[in-house]
Amino acid sequence: MVMQRTFSIIKPDAVKRNLIGKIVQRFEDNDLRVIAAKMVRLSTEQAEAFYAEHKGRDFYEPLIAYMVSAPIVVQVLEGEDAIAKNRQIIGVTDPAKAEPNTIRADYALSVRENSVHGSDSEESAAREIAFFFADDEICCRD
């Protein structure tokens, strides 16, 4: 097991339905620690840059419109094996296929409005953390 950092978004559908606390509770219950957090409203340019890997897919334009439709909460989570653990807690992209007791199975509205984002690799975690946070916005463990 290795100590890792991963990047998380509580997406517009969850923020609008007042689910921030319930979602953060899932992270904390699974020994992931919030070491940076802020609420932001993405610009279209930011959303397009964040999801650049999906540009050209048929779901891309509605994904961007959805991601700018309301504020989001961006966080850095730290813990043992945090990247894979967070993806497990979240569940697969389609909430209808997500494992029971995952965030998406319990809260997501649809494949697009699926409540949370979690980095899928060390490379994307590093890129996504740097996209939203300066080094001095991330708190060190004591």
User: 104 and 92 in contact (C-beta within 8 Å)?
Assistant: yes
Whether 6 has a binding-site annotation, put simply, is: no
The stretch among 2-10, 28-36, 108-116, 125-133 that binds ligand DAT (CB under 6 A) is 108-116
| Per-residue burial over 21-51, b = 16 or more CB atoms within 10 Å of its CB, e = otherwise | eebbebbeeeebeebbbeeeebeeebbbebb
87 burial via Cβ count (<10 Å: 0-12, 13-18, 19+) = middle
Residues that contact ligand DAT, how many (by CB under 6 A)? 9
CA–CA separation, 135 and 139 (whole Å) = 9
Residue from 25, 93, 101, 121 that binds ligand DAT (CB under 6 A)? 93
Q: How far is the CB of 128 from ligand DAT (least distance, A)?
A: 11
Contact (Cβ atoms closer than 8 angstroms) between residue 95 and residue 108 = yes
Binding to ligand DAT by residue 117, rule CB under 6 A? yes
| Residue 117 bears catalytic tag | yes
Q: Is 121 in the site for ligand DAT (CB under 6 A)?
A: no
Q: How far is the CB of 115 from ligand DAT (least distance, A)?
A: 9
Q: What does the binding site for ligand DAT look like in residue numbers (CB under 6 A)?
A: 54, 59, 63, 93, 111-112, 114, 117, 120
